[in-house]
Structure 1
Amino acid sequence: MKLTILQTGEVPLPLRSRFVPYRKMFEAMFDQTGQGFSYETINVAEGEPFPDLARLEGVVITGSAAGVYDDLPWLEPLRDFIRKGYQQRTPLLGICFGHQIMADALGGDVRKSPKGWGLGRHTYEVTARPGFMPQAPSALAVACSHQDQVLVPPREAEVILASDFTPNAGLAYRNGAALSLQPHPEFADDYTVALAELRRGKAPDELVDSAVSSVAMPSHSADVAGYIGRFFKER
């Protein structure tokens, strides 16, 4: 199965000499599932044309420094692509910004949260168990890095992951072929720490310190990657 990665952002410039590009993080995550995926990447944020939905087997929308409310030329075409893909039941996955733009395109409300930065490893309650994650534990700990949140999910979405900080952290859509997550199962611990440290001066030092120490908590990223792999394979 080929996954088409729609690149909407990239590793921040100060970190690029130390870490692989986002597309490589996703490829490594999916490779670890053992599902035999292949990949192509289309950098829509840099103006590369959107692919023909009719030829796609699965789509991944990456994280980004952009917000859904920004005035960027590629955002409306991305919304249109998401709506058409949803109608055609093309398997769609959104992570972080991808989660937000999917919710925005399909009728949700996405804004900068008054709660501020979410950094480090957060723990999310599993509030529903779709068919691709029937044995999920009661909670999952996964890395995150965001200010924006889905404040109101679309009517078509069921909340599957939630926390006090991020009540709509995971959404499974009722067409059976769309899934989105606020946290980043593709992030390795060293990148999670580096990204948190990069926010020092923008986020309070106490929050950054807590984010850095949070990676000592056991991670469920590999489990979440497995759920996502099954989501695509079962579609």
Structure 2
Amino acid sequence: MAKFKIGILETGRPPEELAKEHVSYPHMVEDLLSHIDAEFSTYTVLDSQFPTSADICDLWVITGSKFGAYEDHKWIAPLEEFIRNIKSSGKLMFGICFGHQLIAQALGGKVEKYNKGWALGVNQYHIDNWPQELGTAPNEIALQAYHQDQITTLPAGAINVASSDFCKYAAVWYPDFGLTVQGHPEFSTAYASALLKTRRGNGLTEQQANDGLAKMAIPNNRDTIAKIVETYLTKWESNHA
């Protein structure tokens, strides 16, 4: 029997032309966290398929999405309520990009479209206020990025732990609740590159896509993020044994 139960809340899908080769965001999350002794379950909240209870998993992951946290979709308000239920239940969360933003919004923060445009390719972030629950602090974190929206106001009690000149709240720690990241640690270099090529001239300008592709060679720290998730999940488990 697996040590942990991890629930993936699917809020988006890869573009249709990439889905056959790169499957789905839940598959990418499972690959990212495959070193953890866990049983994974996926709930397609995008189609209003919600778990019966926050208690059925130890860690909940919210994927990336093409949608904005502030947009009016029938599944967003129920998902925000479910986030608050997870917090009340004492279970943990890990939010990625859209998930990072929606968790902040659900807890009282604010998310907006950034007036300076897109973050694309591998972006580097400075570390600050690193909590001991996340293990040894890295010197910096570099992650694939693909976003226009950003958190502009943190909820009460949230601690910003990573930032850049472009993205003020790049990683946020919620004590006794979990970590969220604006980047995409679940994206492989192959998928991130294919996504930019697909969006060239279709949502992104030629220059934007090329600038993002030029940063693909920068080493990224997806494995570091995966280890950090395992660290706080393991510490949570030891405190609840």
- The secondary structure found in structure 1 opposite 2:217 is coil
Q: 91-100 vs 222-231, which deviates more?
A: 222-231
Letter in 2 for 1:163: S
Question: Separation in 2 of the partners of 1:12 and 1:196?
Answer: 11
2:178 maps to 1:178: yes
Alignment of 1:42-57 (within 5 A): 42-57=43-58
* Identical residues among aligned pairs (%): 33
C-alpha deviation, 1:112, in angstroms: 0.8
Q: Deviations over 1:8-28 (max 9, x none)?
A: 111111211221211111111
- The secondary structure found in structure 1 opposite 2:234 is helix
TM-score, length of structure 1 as denominator length: 0.94
Match of 2:32 in 1: 29
Match of 1:195 in 2: 195
- The secondary structure found in structure 2 opposite 1:26 is helix
Match of 1:125 in 2: 126
C-alpha deviation, 1:136, in angstroms: 2.7
RMSD (Å) for aligned C-alpha atoms: 1.3
Letter in 2 for 1:206: Q
2:29 maps to 1:14: no
Segments of 5+ residues of structure 2 without an aligned counterpart are 237-241
Question: Separation in 1 of the partners of 2:57 and 2:213?
Answer: 38
> Are the equivalent residues in 1 in contact too, given 2:135–2:231 (CA < 8 A)?
no
C-alpha deviation, 1:93, in angstroms: 1.1
> Are the equivalent residues in 2 in contact too, given 1:132–1:228 (CA < 8 A)?
no
- The secondary structure found in structure 2 opposite 1:40 is strand
C-alpha deviation, 1:54, in angstroms: 2.4
Aligned length: 232
> Are the equivalent residues in 2 in contact too, given 1:145–1:195 (CA < 8 A)?
no
- Structure 1 consecutive aligned stretches of length 4 or more whose deviation exceeds 3 Å: none
Match of 1:147 in 2: 148
Match of 1:93 in 2: 94
- The secondary structure found in structure 2 opposite 1:171 is strand
Question: Separation in 2 of the partners of 1:135 and 1:173?
Answer: 17
> Are the equivalent residues in 1 in contact too, given 2:55–2:86 (CA < 8 A)?
no
> Are the equivalent residues in 2 in contact too, given 1:159–1:172 (CA < 8 A)?
yes
Question: Separation in 2 of the partners of 1:136 and 1:217?
Answer: 20
